[in-house]
Amino acid sequence: MNKIIKNLFLALTKWIYYRVGWIRASFLGVDLDWASRVSPQAQIAGVRSIGAALIGRQVSIGAGTYLGSGIIQCARIGKYCSIGPSVILGPTEHRLDHWTTSPYEARDAGEEIGSTDKPAVPSVIGDGVWIGARAVILQGVQIGDRAVIAAGAVVNRDVPANETWGGVPARFIKRNRIAKCKS
């Protein structure tokens, strides 16, 4: 019974936390899906829309960017980016130099539950980047301006500006042709 009450309390606390962020984002003019969960600490001023995504506290998103859905945990996203559905940016990673990768095994041995996590290093996404559906961008990866990440790609290293990358792990596909803006 104690576990049920604790779980209900934690669920209610998380719901309130993300609703506060959702309301804050609404006041900032962001078009939001009801299912979106936005940390009140996320920097999102000027974002166009957020679909059914989870936006963590270690996230900043530039003006004009829109997100379909997914989990954005640890990232700095530039202006005017197009982020497709089910994208994961900056997921938590485990330390490989620790005696276990399981946070529960570490806790059962008397350690803090976060002792198996690598320190968070944000992914940095440049301006005008397009990230396709179900792509995964690991922590610490930098993606240059106007790059394109293909759907389903797993990006584990830096991507230069104006290039298209895809695959698992992501590799160079082609150089993007840059057209001048109409005046």
Q: Which of the residues are catalytic? A: 94
> Residues 136, 157: contact at Cβ < 8 Å?
no
**What's the CA gap between 21 and 54, in Å, rounded?**
11
Q: Tell me the pairing of strands 163-166 and 171-175.
A: antiparallel
Any idea which residue has 């996320």 for tokens?
42
The closest of 153, 178, 151, 152 to 163, measured between CA atoms, is: 178
Look up residue 77 and give its DSSP letter: E
Alpha carbon distances (Å) from 147 to 64, 73, 137:
16, 21, 13
